[in-house]
Structure 1
Amino acid sequence: MEYINNDTIKGRYLSFFLGKEMYAAPIENIWEVNAMIDYTEVPQTAPFVKGVLNLRGKVIPVIDLCCKLNLAPTSFNRYTCIVVMQAHTRQIGVIIDSVDSVIELAKDHIKSNNSLGEEKEMKFISGMGNIEGKSLIILNIENILSDEELLIK
């Protein structure tokens, strides 16, 4: 893998787990973290769209990130939560297995996704990070979902 940048400017990320793997999203995309709360199921949506949530009067689509990324289904437990993220011009609720922490990564500790696979298939990954000897996948929130995929306007 090649490094994205060799400078030492740090970026802040929310790290979280999907199954046993650690992921991260840029903190500027994170609005809030909520315990698992009730959402309303919406019929005839994509399998990864679990429904909508009314958050302080705003209707927010809820997706199961494991399902969207073709991982083993989320096993709901007391650590499962919904992270509200900004994607494009809208907020989405993302179901994750558990939150880890807010971390800082120097850009020279983030490797690009160029060698992971086809760019089209890996568009949702910004790169790979390494923190305390653990690898984590850094997500590009803007590319996880398109407005057309949600079909909830």
Structure 2
Amino acid sequence: MTDNIKADGAGAEFLAFRLGREEYGVDILKVQEIRGYETVTQIANAPAYLKGVINLRGIIVPIIDLRIKFSQAAVSYDQYTVVIIVDLHDRTTGIVVDGVSDVLTLAPAQIKAAPLMSGDMDTDYIRGLGSIEDRMLILVDIERLLDTEELAALDAAAAA
């Protein structure tokens, strides 16, 4: 939960983004850049959440739509839809989100453990819940978001 919280108690910085009505946070150190959504080159037989790939300054970058990955209702792409370019297991990857809001610094006391979920829900990617004023952020460990099979699909897409 607090693996990147600084020992001096200064806290950690998270990029806040929206998916539907929920607000999430990802470690700012994993973020390379934020871009507007652009047309992607689709890959045949790719998983539904893999929208395709883009060429980013000579690097082929797979684009993942987190709304599909999180089984949310389909949302249309508009002028607020953005792609967050992240470093995911030493791979440059783009994640599509509804919008970004700001960078927040959370002190260790503002980060609570994620509640335990029963059943088949996979919540290993949730680092915790961040609370700042009247906002609640679901803090995502971006590297735990995709499993080994999904990473292999990304590699195959990037090589295509």
TM-score normalised per structure 1: 0.89
Q: Which runs of 5+ in 1 are unaligned?
A: none
Correspondence for 1:81: 82
Correspondence for 1:30: 31
CA distance in 2, matches of 1:10, 1:130: 13
Distance 1:130 1:94, change over 3 A: same
CA distance in 2, matches of 1:118, 1:92: 30
- 8 Å CA contact 1:15, 1:103 repeated in 2: yes
Write the letter of the residue equivalent to 1:84: I
Helix, strand or coil at the partner of 1:38: coil
Distance 1:119 1:142, change over 3 A: farther
CA distance in 1, matches of 2:93, 2:9: 31
Aligned residues: 151
Shift of 1:74: 3.1
Q: Which runs of 5+ in 2 are unaligned?
A: none
CA distance in 2, matches of 1:89, 1:118: 31
Matched-pair identity in %: 31
Shift of 1:73: 2.2
Kindly report the root-mean-square deviation, in angstroms, between the aligned alpha carbons of the 2 structures: 2.2
TM-superposition CA deviations, 1:45-78 (whole Å, max 9, x none)? 1110000010000000001001111122232111
Correspondence for 2:21: 20
Correspondence for 1:148: 152
Distance 1:88 1:36, change over 3 A: same
- 8 Å CA contact 1:18, 1:74 repeated in 2: no
Matches within 5 A, 1:72-151: 72-117=73-118, 121-146=122-147, 147-150=151-154, 151=156
- 8 Å CA contact 1:60, 1:92 repeated in 2: yes
TM-score normalised per structure 2: 0.85
- 8 Å CA contact 1:75, 1:97 repeated in 2: no
Correspondence for 1:39: 40
Helix, strand or coil at the partner of 1:32: strand
Write the letter of the residue equivalent to 1:121: D
